């Protein structure tokens, strides 16, 4: 099933923010540190404790977040819409259409977590992330 979820970026306080949201919204919270991922080798060692990816899921609520890697977090770039696609065809169509007149930040490609992933900023300045995991 295709879904659009909010993806939040924090400047080093994802753990604190997502723990707060769990207290408020309930659900299951999962967090992966950079040091626990294949990205650890590409990052400075002091980044190891930062959160690469987190998800809070409670029934229909899906909230994802990470500590921003690189760009400064400002109002406007601190949230993206993440489209979890149900097929390769769908991810390619959505990505192609939404990138028209915008900027591709990461082209669609295989990720280390086993999904096709890419990101872009559309012509209206909205950040989008696309993910498709084969069943």
| Domain-wise residue ranges, the chain | 10-69
Confidence class of residue 24 from pLDDT cuts 50, 70 and 90? confident
Residue-wise pLDDT tens digits, 25-50? 899 999 999 898 887 888 888 878 89
Instruction: Please compute the mean of the pLDDT values over residues 10-20 and round it to a whole number.
Output: 90
Cross-strand partners of 33? 51
Position 79 scores a pLDDT of 82
pLDDT for 45 equals: 83
**Lowest model confidence (mean pLDDT) among 82-86, 109-113, 121-125:** 121-125
- CA 79, CA 112: separation in Å to the nearest integer? 23
Sheet containing 3-10: give its strands across: 28-33, 51-58, 61-67, 3-10, 79-84, 127-133, 115-121, 103-110
pLDDT at 134 over 90: no
Judge residue 52's burial from the number of C-beta atoms within 10 Å of its C-beta, 0-12 exposed, 13-18 middle, 19 or more buried.
buried
Q: Which of 3-17, 41-55, 70-84, 110-124 has the lowest average pLDDT?
A: 70-84
The mean pLDDT of the chain is 88
pLDDT in tens, 85-98: 999 999 999 999 99
């Amino acid at each position: 099933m295709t879904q659009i979820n909010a993806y939040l970026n924090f400047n080093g306080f994802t753990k604190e923010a997502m723990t707060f949201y769990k207290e408020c919204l309930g659900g299951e919270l999962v967090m992966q540190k950079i040091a626990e991922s294949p990205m650890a080798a590409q990052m400075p060692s002091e980044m190891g404790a930062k959160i690469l990816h987190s998800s809070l899921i409670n029934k229909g609520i899906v909230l994802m977040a990470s500590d921003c890697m690189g760009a400064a977090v400002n109002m406007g770039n601190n949230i993206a819409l993440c489209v979890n696609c149900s097929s390769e065809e769908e991810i390619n169509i959505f990505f192609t259409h939404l990138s028209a007149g915008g900027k591709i930040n990461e082209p669609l490609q295989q990720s280390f977590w086993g999904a096709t992933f890419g990101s872009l900023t559309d012509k209206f300045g909205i950040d989008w992330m696309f993910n498709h995991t084969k069943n």
